Amino acid sequence: MNVFKNVNRLHFPCLKSLTLCRLYISNDILNLINFHALHLEYLNMTLFISSKWTLLLKLILSLPKLHTCYLNLGISLCPIKSSILSTSPIKHLTLLGSHQSCCMNRLGILFYYLPYLHSLRIECDRLKFNEIIQNQYPNKLLSLSIFSLQINHLPELFIDLIDFITTTMPHIEKLKIKCCTPLKNLVYVNIYQWIKAINLLIHLKKLILIIIPEKTIKEKSWNRRIEQLMQFTNMRHITLEIIPLTEHKK
């Protein structure tokens, strides 16, 4: 029995929260979401199969009261057609795709439709950056104050990640980076790199790094970099937490 075939029979006149899990997203389900669009405030669609991702993204961005949204990372990277004229009221967005790559240029395009976003959380395998071009991230999340990134493999170039953050999220107050694999070098605890980044992130109040070094990195070198970073952030009145990945799993 297809309970979604006639959405009028699913009578939830003031539905505010909807979670759709392990479903094939058909036209019937799109109609269901559209039917309850006026009141929907919370939407979770992280585990699903669909050939209609572009239509689904367009529909989600048009929901007039949606403020919290959990989405599969893949849908957020769909090409957005210019027919989407309105912006979304979403304030809290989580994009989940621990085995997927996140294309930063496409993500930057999505930002245009999220002017009220307050917090953004991304889980992915790795980040994909195109060749650097002038003004490659024209859309800024001026309301964003919290950004959390959980990633399996951090970019080799620290500047790629920091350039994206400082350009698109200039007002963030809390930044959390968790890498699920050991770091191969010291670049992410390099004091000079962080000085440049923090000079641009003038509103930053809290920095959380959940990381561990590879065994090839000498403990003395690692600890020295951590101490330098601690001293610098303390001088800038920024709360710094560096949590070993093993402790975070407990």
Nearest CA among 78, 71, 120 for reference residue 103: 78
Q: What is the pLDDT of residue 3?
A: 47
Mean pLDDT of 51-75: 87
Residue pair 8/36 in contact (Cβ under 8 Å)? The answer is no
At what angle are helices 191-200 and 219-235 packed, to 10 degrees? 30
**Which residue ranges make up each domain of the chain?**
11-128+136-249
Q: What is the pLDDT of residue 52?
A: 75
CA distance 204 to 207: 8
CA distance 17 to 68: 9
Q: What is the pLDDT of residue 247?
A: 55
Residue pLDDT, tens place only, 109-131? 888 899 999 999 999 999 988 76
Residues above pLDDT 70, as percent of the chain:
86
**Is the predicted pLDDT of residue 153 greater than 50, yes or no?**
yes
Tokens of 170: 């200039």
Q: What is the pLDDT of residue 133?
A: 47
Indicate the DSSP class of residue 213.
B
Q: What is the mean pLDDT of the chain?
A: 85
**Is the predicted pLDDT of residue 231 greater than 50, yes or no?**
yes
CA distance 250 to 245: 9
Tokens of 188: 């992410």
Residue 36: count other Cβ atoms within 10 Å of its Cβ: 19
Interacting residues of 42 by C-beta distance below 8 A, sequence separation 6+: 16, 17, 18, 66, 67, 68, 69
**Is the predicted pLDDT of residue 83 greater than 80, yes or no?**
no
Residue pLDDT, tens place only, 155-167? 888 888 998 999 8
Please indicate whether residue 3 or residue 168 has the higher confidence score (pLDDT). 168
Q: What is the pLDDT of residue 8?
A: 52
Residue type (1 letter), 144: L
Runs of H (alpha helix) within the chain: 27-35, 53-61, 73-76, 104-111, 158-168, 191-200, 219-235, 245-249
Q: What is the pLDDT of residue 169?
A: 93
CA distance 209 to 213: 12
**Is the predicted pLDDT of residue 225 greater than 50, yes or no?**
yes
Mean pLDDT of 13-17: 81
CATH assignment of 11-128+136-249, among 3.80.10.10, 3.40.50.2000, 3.10.580.10, 1.10.10.10: 3.80.10.10
pLDDT category at 249 given cuts 50, 70, 90 is low
CA torsion angle for 74, 75, 77, 78 (degrees, to 10)?
Answer: 120
**Is the predicted pLDDT of residue 5 greater than 60, yes or no?**
no
